[in-house]
């Protein structure tokens, strides 16, 4: 697949969240190019950057699908962080859902 702005936005929307490494593998480019492309989309507010990281790479996600942050938290947090995350999540649901 050709690495264009439209293709990248479409890919992120389909996957919900990605890392530069996922972009590099899917678009057959380097991680540095994938990171730069995602950063450019983040500056344009077409994708958002999470505070949850895989190694040193942040996850980029579709800002219209914020529920994917819950999935990321469940997948990557552990121990005390996961407990706090679950408490915050249930508190949020009680107030706003």
Distance linking the first and last C-alpha atoms of the chain: 39
pLDDT digits (tens, 9 = 90+) for 29-58: 999 999 999 999 999 999 999 988 888 899
The DSSP code for 54 is: E
Residue 71 · residue 65 · CB < 8 Å: no
Specify the 3-state DSSP secondary structure of 27.
coil
pTM of the predicted model over 0.75: yes
Residue 25 has pLDDT above 70, yes or no: yes
Q: Sheet of 17-18: strands edge to edge? A: 17-18, 57-61, 48-54
Half-sphere exposure of 4 (CA within 13 A, CB side): 5
Site of tokens 């914020």: 66
């Amino acid at each position: 697949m050709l690495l264009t702005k439209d293709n990248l936005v479409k890919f992120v929307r389909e996957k919900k969240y990605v890392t530069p490494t996922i972009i590099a593998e899917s678009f057959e480019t380097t991680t540095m190019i994938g990171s730069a492309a995602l950063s450019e989309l983040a500056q344009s507010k077409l994708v958002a950057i999470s505070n949850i990281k895989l190694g040193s790479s942040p996850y980029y996600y579709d800002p219209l699908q914020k529920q994917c942050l819950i999935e990321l938290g469940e997948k990557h947090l552990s121990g005390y962080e996961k407990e706090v995350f679950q408490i915050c999540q249930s508190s949020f649901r009680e107030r706003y859902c």
